[in-house]
Amino acid sequence: MDLDAIDAFAAVTGDRSPLHLDAAFATSRGFAGRVAHGALLVGYVSQLVGMVLPGRNALLLGVNMSFVAPVIAGTRVTVAGVVDQVSDAVRSVVLKIEARDEGGAVVARGKATIGFTQEVAAHG
């Protein structure tokens, strides 16, 4: 979680809490440095769904995440998903999501519901 991503997220969302932007403030509250926004991790879930699995036909319908440990700026985080449910009737999949830091500790977990788009034939 690099500082540029945290700064950009703060600029886009307006969440400029000193916990996210001021290392001295975060340290004074017991953290090892600036803390990444939890919602920034959700953005990486969107990236996983839209760019990796399943990709261009995927539409993120919902995310339910719990943030179980703070992510300090500079920490490498990996987001992964495993298929938990499949519904052919409504063309959706539910993924179990985990985000882990570089030491393998879980920092967030939850579920993401994914729908699928299909190409619409052009009418001439």
pLDDT of residue 122: 67
Query: E strand or H helix at 24, and its extent?
Result: helix 23-28
Give 47-86 pLDDT, tens digit per residue.
Answer: 999 888 777 889 999 999 999 999 999 999 999 999 999 9
Q: Is residue 54 part of a domain?
A: yes
CB 70 within 8 A of CB 26: no
Q: Is residue 122 part of a domain?
A: no
Q: Is residue 85 part of a domain?
A: yes
The CATH number that applies at residue 24 is 3.10.129.10
Q: Is residue 121 part of a domain?
A: no
Q: Which residue matches tokens 């009737």?
A: 89
Structural domain count, the chain:
1
Domain with 92 in it: 3-116
pLDDT of residue 124: 58
Q: Is residue 105 part of a domain?
A: yes
Phi then psi for 75, rounded to 5 degrees?
A: -80, 135
Q: Is residue 123 part of a domain?
A: no
Query: What Rg, from alpha-carbon coordinates, does the chain have?
Result: 17
Q: Is the pLDDT of residue 90 over 70?
A: yes
pLDDT of residue 123: 65
